Amino acid sequence: MSVRFQEKSQRYLVRVDRKGAPRISRLFKTKAEADDFEHEYLISHGIIKAKGIDSRKLKDLIDLWYMYQGVNLSDGTRRKTKLLYMCAELKNPVAVRLTPEKFVQYRFEKTHSNDKVIAAKTFNNMHGYLNAVYNKLHKLKVISYPSPVADVDFIKVHERQLSYLSHVQINTLLNSISRCQNHSTWYVAQICLRTGARWSEAEQLKRKQLHDGRVTFEFTKSKKTRTIPLDADFFSTLEEFIGSKNPDDRIFDNCISSFRRAVYRTDLSFPKGQMTHILRHSFASHFIMNGGNILTLQRILGHSDITVTMRYAHLAQDHLKEAINFNPMVDEKKVA
């Protein structure tokens, strides 16, 4: 055998001395890496044939996945960028030879060993994207083998309560926004707070999407349109702002930078990554706290999976109220 473990270096030594190929010696951290190097080296010099082995690289699979599915996803381009980043870091292996061990080792390096570690939740997303590439191509029979990372457990992440703005904080924010030179900022923020829309959905609205006191959001993340009524007074004010725009004209100017400056003028502190999304969380949180139905909220927010909407369920007035009525200390009160 040409792969041996060295006690002194605690590495696996590959030593190839075969007729028809230059002699070579290399050290690797794992036996899987050593075996892969030896196998590919012998193939590259014609010592063995790759007959019956799918020699396509991981990048080839990513390109195929994007062509067959990714291009049709609302975030397909962003996913492909993340996948290609992983592919480069994994050194673009032969896709069929990626092993759970290699992937877990890579995960450790990205979440613990480097100066710039990736958050566990972020890596779980990347893990899911990679698994989806293999699963989709296997389902389409483009590849004949299952995902090598399917049995790798995701990192357990502590669930955090979603942040939202109180009425006082909302007023503070709106007062700051009212001083923005870009007047679109105030209306976009208002729509997000009144409908739970994502900032991009509100900012990109066209005149034809406002009708009969309602707003219809198109090209959403779920790819489904949703129509939500607006307060009559606000809708009237909004129509005055719009003026005589044509149906396909955009209503608002780009104003995300204006919104950020408005936030910085306040003493409000938003969680990382929730600069505008906190408006959507605030709508959903107040909706539930005011007695709104969780299924109605799902339709308003456009969630395809109710489990996503259930993140707000704990804010319901009667959420787990039985904990008060049926805990063992209730009997103690009766005795007293």
- The ranges assigned to domains in the chain are 3-44, 58-139, 167-286
pLDDT of residue 43: 76
Q: 307 is written with which tokens? A: 């489990």
pTM over the 0.85 mark: no
Phi/psi region, residue 22 (left: phi>0; alpha: psi -120 to 50; beta: rest), is beta
Q: How far apart are CA 186 and CA 180, in angstroms?
A: 8
Pairing of strands 11-16, 24-28: antiparallel
Provide the percentage of residues in the chain whose pLDDT is more than 70.
95
312 as an active site residue: the answer is yes
Catalytic one of 31, 260, 277, 311: 277
Catalytic one of 41, 66, 129, 312: 312
The three-state DSSP-derived secondary structure of 270-297 is CCCCCCCHHHHHHHHHHHHHCCCCHHHH
CA 85 to chain centre: 15
What distances in angstroms separate CA 79 from CA 72, 76, 132, 151, 272, one per listed residue?
12, 5, 11, 21, 21
Q: How far apart are CA 320 and CA 170, in angstroms?
A: 28
pLDDT of residue 335: 52
Residue 336's pLDDT band (cuts 50, 70, 90): low
Burial class of residue 113 (count of CB atoms within 10 Å of its CB; 0-12, 13-18, 19+): exposed
What distances in angstroms separate CA 287 from CA 70, 194, 214, 293, 312, one per listed residue?
34, 10, 18, 8, 9
Indicate if the pLDDT at residue 38 is higher than 90. Answer: no
31 as an active site residue: the answer is no
286 as an active site residue: the answer is no
Q: pLDDT tens, 234-265?
A: 999 999 999 999 999 999 999 999 999 999 99
pLDDT of residue 223: 78
Burial class of residue 164 (count of CB atoms within 10 Å of its CB; 0-12, 13-18, 19+): buried
Catalytic one of 110, 194, 226, 280: 280
pLDDT of residue 73: 87
Of 20-34, 91-105, 248-262, minimum mean pLDDT range? 20-34
Catalytic one of 198, 226, 281, 286: 198
Of 75-84, 156-165, 190-199, 211-220, minimum mean pLDDT range? 156-165
pLDDT of residue 51: 56
Domain 167-286 class in CATH: mainly alpha
pLDDT of residue 42: 78
What distances in angstroms separate CA 194 from CA 114, 188, 285, one per listed residue?
43, 10, 12
pLDDT of residue 123: 94
Indicate if the pLDDT at residue 46 is higher than 90. Answer: no
Indicate if the pLDDT at residue 48 is higher than 70. Answer: no
Q: How far apart are CA 282 and CA 292, in angstroms?
A: 13
CA 266 to chain centre: 29
pLDDT of residue 114: 65
Catalytic one of 138, 207, 221, 265: 221
pLDDT of residue 333: 57
User: Which residue is associated with the tokens 């198109």?
Assistant: 218
What distances in angstroms separate CA 163 from CA 60, 80, 157, one per listed residue?
41, 30, 17
Query: What Rg, from alpha-carbon coordinates, does the chain have?
Result: 28
Indicate if the pLDDT at residue 280 is higher than 70. Answer: yes
Letter for the amino acid at 65?
W
